[in-house]
Amino acid sequence: MSSHRSRHLSSRTSTQSACLPSPKPLAAALHQAMLCLAVGSGGMSINAIAQTSTDKAPETTLPAVTVSAVAASDSTDLPAAYAGGQTARGGRLGMLGNRGSLDTPFSTTSYTAQRIEDQQAVTLADVLNADPSIRFTGQTGGVTDSFMIRGFPINEGNLSEVAFDGVYGVSPNYHLFPEYMERVEVLKGPAAMLYGMSPNSGVGGVVNLVPKRAGATDLTRFTLDYASDAQVGGAVDLSRRWGNDKEWGVRFNGLHRQGPTPLDDQKSRSEVAAVSLDYHGDRLRASLDLIEQYQWIDAPTRPFLVAPGIEVPAAPDGRRNVTQPWGWWKSNDVSTLLRVEYDVADNVTVYADAGGTRSDVSRLSDQTPTILNAAGDTSAAVQNWRFQINRMSFDTGVRAKFDTGPVKHALALQGNLYSDRIANANVAGTPVRSNIYHPVVSPEQSIAPPSFVPKVSDSTLSGVAVVDTVSTMDDRVALTLGLRYQQVESNNYNTATGAKSSSYDENAVTPLAGIVFRPWRNVSFYANYVEGLSKGDIAPATASNAGQVFAPYKTKQQEVGVKVDAGSIMATLAAFRMTKPSGQLFGTVYAVDSEQRNQGLELTVSGEVVRRVRLLGGITWLDGKLTKTNSTATQGNRPVGVPDFMANLGAEWDLPWLQGLTLTGALNYTGRTYVNQANTQSVPSWTTVDVGARYRTKVSGKTTTFRATVINAFDKHYWSGVASYSTISQGAPRTFLGSVTVDF
C-alpha cells in the first residue's frame, strides 16, 4: 500500500454510509451520489467538528503511525488548523504543493472555512480585511474585490488575479463569494516562479482559494442570514462520500441572497451554485470543480477621482450613494477546473489540470465620478457597457522526492499555459451632477446597449519552471532554488476594424532562492530572494520612439523573517524590501527609468494566547518611496495608495460560565494615504471597531450556531481605500450581520 493511501485512510472515520455503490462504472457512481445527496442522512464535516472545539469533550489519543516513504504529492491533504480554527498550519506554494508554515521561506497566512463562516464574510474582501498587510481598495456596494498587498495592487482591472486551487484563470472574475471556499491562502510578495506571471501583472502577493471538497463525514448544513437594511439569504452545504473505501466524494454549495443594502437606494441579488466532485484512490486522485455565480446590483457604487488642486473633502456618511438609483450592474461567471494526479511511484507524482472561466457583464451607471470642489460636488459620465471575458489555463508537471546521500531533494517541474480574451463596448449618455453629502437624483436615461461587442485585447502567458528543495540535518536546513522561463504575448485591437493596433511578444526568466533554518522544532528563520513579473510597456504614439516594445518588468524582493509555533499560536516577524520599475514619458522619449520601492516590517499573530482567548491580526509598517522619477516634484515621495502604518487586532473570548458562547471584536487601523504622486492630496488615517458574538448549542438535537456582528460599530465616516490609479472609496457604514446555521 502506498504511503499516500495510508495517510488518506488514517484520516477517515469507521462510520459506514448506507450509500455504498460500486465505484464502477463512473456514471452509475455519480448517479448514486446524487441520490445519496437527496436522501442521505446528515452529519458533521471535519470543519463542523473543528468548530465545536470549544465544547467540553473527552480527549482521545490516537496511536502513532509510522510511514516508510513520503508521497511525492500532498496537494489533497490540507494542513491542520491552529487552536480555535481560524488559520491553518500551512498552505499551498504554487507548483510546490502544500507546505507547513515553518518549512516555508515566505510570509504566509491561510484563513479557514471556520473563520470565514464565523466572520459572516459576504465576499473575499471581508476575509482579507483581517490581514494587516492587505487593504481593500474596492467599494462597499461596488463591483469588484481589489486590494493592495505590501503596497502593490492586486486584482485591479478586468482580469482576476486570484488563483483557484493554485491555478490562475479559473476563479470568478470580479466578486468572489466564500460559500465554496475551504481556505483562503495569502502568500505575501511576488511569486512568478511558483504560480507563473499574474494575469494583470500584480506583484504584491498571491491570493489562492482552496475549494471545499467532501469531508470524511457526511454533512447537511443550512444557513439563514440577514444584513442591514434588509438583505436576507439562505445557503446550503451538502457533502457525501461513498464507495468501498469512500473514495468518491461530492460537495454542493448553494446561495441565494437579495434585498436592500445599508447604502441609499441600493439593492442587490446574489446566487451561487458550486459542485465539487473528487476521487481518491490508491494512486490516482482526481477532482472536478464547477461554479456558477450571478449578481445584480441596483445603484452600484463607484470609486471617486479627485480634481487636481483641491484637498480631498471629508468623507461623507457611508450610507450616502451618489450613483443614480436607476443605474444597475449585473454579472454572470461560469468556472470549471479539472485536476488529475497519479503516483507513478511512492516518491513520484505526475499531474495535469485544465480550467477556465467565462464572465459576462452588463452595466448602465455612473462611471467613476470626479469630486470637483471642497463642497463635494461631483460630475460623472453615464454609459451602458457590455463586457465579455474568457480565460483558460492548462498546467502539467511532476513532483519527485529522492535522496542523494544525507541530502534530501523535493524536485518539481511544470509547464503552464494561460490565455485571456477581453471584448467590450459602450454607449454614452448624458453626464450627471451630484454631491457626496447630498446626492442629487437626475432624470432616468434610456441608453441602448451596444449592438456589437468587439474584441479589444487578448494575451497568452506560457512557461516552464523547475525548482528543487534540498534539505539536510534532519530537515533543519532547507534550501529552495528555482527558475521559470515566461513568454508574454499580448495584442490590442482596433474596435472598428478588428485589426491589431499594437502587439507585444517578450520573455523573461525569474529566479527564486529561499532558505529555512530550524534550530528548534518550533522556531524557523527564513530568507528569500524572489522576482515578480509584469508586462512591459509599448511606447505611446506621442513619443519619438513610438511603438518600442520593452521587456517585462521585474519586481525584486529580499525578505528575512522568523516564525514561532508555540503549539496553540503562531507568530511571524518579517522584514522585506520590494523594488518595482516602470516606464514614463520624459520630453519626447518613453523609457523605463521609474522605480517604486516599498520596504517594511510585518508582525502577524494567530491562535490561542491563553485558554479560551484567541487573537488574529498584527501590524505592518511600510516605507514606500518613489526612488526614481523624472520630476523633482515627485522624486522621493510616497507612492499612491501606500499608507505608512496598518494594524488589525481581532479577538475571541469563550465565556467560561456559559458553554458555547463566544464574544468577538476587532480593531482596524490604516494610516494616512496619498492620492496623487505629488503628495498634495491625501485621505486621513482611520480606525474602526467591530463587535459580535456567537452561540453554539443543540436545538432539537441538531448542532446550531447563532452569530451576530456589528461592522463599524461607532459608524465612523472615512475614506477606506486608495487604488493605484488614484481613486478613493467610501468606508462601510455601521452594518448589522446576523445568521443561524443548522447541521441536520
The rounded mean pLDDT for the chain is 89
Write down the pLDDT at residue 78: 81
pLDDT tens, position by position, 90-147: 999 999 999 999 999 999 999 999 999 999 999 999 999 889 999 999 988 888 899 9
Residue 621 has a CB neighbour count (10 Å cut-off) of 17
CA distances from residue 359 to 169, 170, 174, 202, 299 in whole angstroms, order as listed? 11, 11, 9, 20, 21
Look at residue 19 in the predicted model and tell me its pLDDT. 37
The percentage of residues in the chain with a pLDDT greater than 70, rounded to a whole number, is 90
Q: Residue 536 — pLDDT band, cuts 50, 70, 90?
A: confident
| Inter-residue contact 268 to 297 (CB < 8 Å) | yes
- Per-residue pLDDT reduced to its tens digit, 688-734: 999 999 999 999 999 999 999 999 999 999 999 899 999 999 999 99
Average pLDDT over residues 417-440: 96
Q: What pLDDT sits at residue 630?
A: 83
Residue in 510, 501, 585, 594 with CA at minimum distance from that of residue 552: 510
Give pLDDT, residue 277. Answer: 98
Of all residues in the chain, what percent carry a pLDDT higher than 90? 80
At 247-259, the pLDDT tens digits run 999 999 999 999 9
Number of other residues whose CB lies within 10 A of the CB of residue 29:
19
Question: Do β-strands 348-371 and 305-306 pair in parallel, antiparallel, or remain unpaired?
Answer: parallel
Lowest mean pLDDT among 138-142, 169-173, 313-317: 138-142
Beta bridge partners of 374: none
410 CB-contact burial (10 Å; exposed 0-12 / middle 13-18 / buried 19+) = buried
**Radius of gyration, CA atoms only, the chain:** 25
- At residue 285 the predicted structure's pLDDT band, cuts being 50, 70 and 90, is very high
- Whole-model pTM: value is 0.87
Q: Is residue 62 scored above 60 in pLDDT?
A: no
pLDDT at 9: 36
List the chain domain ranges.
210-743
Confidence of residue 72 (pLDDT cuts 50, 70, 90): very low
So what's the pLDDT on residue 551? Answer: 87
For residue 8, is pLDDT > 70?
Answer: no
Q: What is the mean pLDDT of residues 179-193?
A: 95
Mean predicted confidence (pLDDT) in 219-240: 96
Give residue-wise pLDDT tens across range 583-627: 877 778 888 889 999 999 999 999 999 999 999 999 999 999 999
Neighbouring CB atoms inside 10 A of 31's CB total: 12
Alpha helix ranges (H) inside 553-707: none
Arithmetic mean of pLDDT, 661-680: 96
* pLDDT given for residue 591 in this prediction: 86
Greater model confidence, 29 or 466 = 466
Three-class SS of residue 174? coil
- pLDDT given at position 605: 96
CATH 2.40.170.20 fits 210-743, yes or no: yes
Q: Give the model's pLDDT for residue 347.
A: 95
Helix (H), strand (E) at residue 30: helix 26-39
Confidence band (pLDDT; 50, 70, 90) for 51? Answer: very low
631 pLDDT band, cuts 50/70/90, is confident
Q: Which of 151, 152, 192 is nearest to 168 (CA)?
A: 192
**pLDDT digit string (tens) for 328-361?**
999 999 999 999 999 999 999 999 999 999 999 9
What is the structure's pLDDT at 3? 40
- Neighbouring C-beta atoms of residue 41, cutoff 10 Å: 12
pLDDT score, position 632: 86
Residues 6 or more apart whose Cβ sits within 8 Å of residue 32: 19, 21, 242
Tell which wins on pLDDT, 374 or 55: 374
DSSP E strands, 551-674: 553-565, 569-586, 589-610, 613-628, 645-654, 661-670, 673-674
pLDDT for 721: 85
Checking if the pLDDT of 263 tops 90, the result is: yes
Asked if pLDDT for residue 426 goes beyond 50, the answer is: yes
SS3 721: strand
Alpha-carbon distance 733 to 719, whole Å?
11
What sign results for the dihedral spanned by CA atoms 524, 209, 3, 95? negative
For range 52-62, the mean pLDDT: 38
d(CA 80, CA 90): 8
